[in-house]
A = this chain, B = another copy of it.
Amino acid sequence: MKIAIDAMGGDNAPRDIVRGALAGCRKAGIEPIFVGKKECIEPELEKWGHSAADTLIVHTDEYLVEGEAPAYALRAKRSASIALCMKLVREGKADAVFSAGPTGGVVASALGYLGTVEGISRPVIGGSFLGFAPKTVIMDLGGNIDSRPDQLLDFGIVGTVFARTLLDVPNPTVALLSVGAEEGKGNETVKAAYPLFKKSGLNFIGNVEGHDIVLGKANVVICDGFMGNVLMKFCEGFGKLTARWMEKQLLGKLPEAEIAALVKTLVSKTNAAEEVGGGPLWAVNGIVIKAHGRCTWEDVARSMVETKRYADKDIVGALKKELAAVRNNLKITPEQA
């Protein structure tokens, strides 16, 4: 298995990207293809005892930077590193893409070169963000704003595949995030989505409320990306603040190392999205991993191991199968979807 690495994307690129990819790929038993400026990549390879001659490198001078309008930037830079990565997958020369570059650029190039699976129009971003509820994923976390009811159903399908294939939950429970448990509670979108979920054949358990996320009441919690993004960031901020508060309260009462360990655990449990260091762009017709711009080499390394899992579990194939099953339950053809 080969993975196309956007060596130029991320705050610490190419340094941390190259180092992490080398370490992670060795561990996962996969081969990296580095895409970017040869003269920047080669010295990093050598630092870690790799010769440029023995490493797959696709050279390009162009790459995307934070703050550009993605569509325009991709048109202006036809050989941007992220675009070449996608092409490698489209041409069957790589099995997955990894990038810590600008989100808009990764999404736009994934859509442009690989497209989405039939029936879902945009990538879905989701996952666990709370370590206290490790068997719960939230979909969407910011990729889709102003979602329609049928898009919420797509998130439910993606989340089901996520929980089943990556969290090993055999029959994941799915719930709509709302302001009350009863059917009929919620905003217009949630109310319209409810009957779709009921008929979908997914393991739908109805609505859950904010506190139910924390309690892990459902394996898949469905919300609009606007809500999901605010919640995720609130959780991160809340965790950090609570950890600092706890640190202050415990100072002088416990050994400093013990306090530091508690603080670290609490921050990591409430910043699960950061901890993972990246996740797949679901619904793209291919495995594309988008990592945080500020990811460290350890994050990148972990991501390589995760990507191997995504490929082994065939997440794209599993999603297509689940989509077909739900469509059959709703009696709609892919063309209508």
Contacts and interface: CB of A to CB of B under 8 A. Distances in A.
A188 B146 contact: yes
Interface in A187-242: 187-188, 190, 209-215, 223-227, 229-242
Residue in A209, A212, A227, A238 with the greatest tally of chain B CB atoms within 10 Å: A238
Contact of A238 (B187, B238, B265): B238
Interface in A37-60: none
A102 to B, nearest CB: 13
Interface stretch (A25-33, A246-254, A303-311): A246-254
| Copy count, this protein chain | 2
Contact of A179 (B230, B235, B241, B245): B230
Given A230-B227, A253-B254, A262-B249, A241 B142 contact: no
Given A145-B186, A179-B145, A238 B235 contact: yes
B187 A145 contact: yes
19 contacts: A145-B186, A177-B230, A178-B226, A179-B229, A209-B229, A209-B230, A209-B233, A210-B231, A210-B232, A210-B235, A210-B237, A211-B234, A211-B238, A214-B241, A227-B227, A234-B234, A245-B269, A246-B266, A250-B250
B187 A211 contact: no
Given A235-B238, A254-B254, A179 B226 contact: yes
Contacts of A235: 210, 234, 238
A335 interface: no
A292 to B, nearest CB: 14
Contacts of A269: 245
